[in-house]
Amino acid sequence: MDILKIEDTLPKAEKGIKLTKQALKEIRIIIAEYEFEKKQEEIYFFKNIKPKIYRQAHLLCQIVQYRRKTSQEEQ
């Protein structure tokens, strides 16, 4: 029983990358204008929240690269 079908992985990961890139653009715009109430809030955002988004994007890129490589090898 496959929870995630292999053939669905590439399109879903590519869509995830597009959504993550768009979210990062929007976050940059918001953060440029946003004033954090406390220094701790700003530190928490840049040490915890933002890196999670970048990790997600990195993971999705790795999935796409892997699936493209394996699909080329299958041909």
Say if residue 43's pLDDT is above 60: yes
- Residue-range domain boundaries for the chain: 8-74
pTM for this predicted structure: 0.66
Tokens describing residue 12: 């879903």
DSSP string, 24-68: HHHHHHHHHH---SSHHHHHHIIIIIHHHHHHHHHHHHHHHHHHH
Lowest mean pLDDT among 1-10, 17-26, 28-37: 1-10
Q: How many residues does the chain have?
A: 75
Lowest mean pLDDT among 4-18, 33-47, 56-70: 4-18
* 22-48 average pLDDT score: 94
Alpha-carbon span 7 to 75, nearest angstrom? 14
What's the pLDDT band for 57 if we cut at 50, 70, 90? Answer: confident
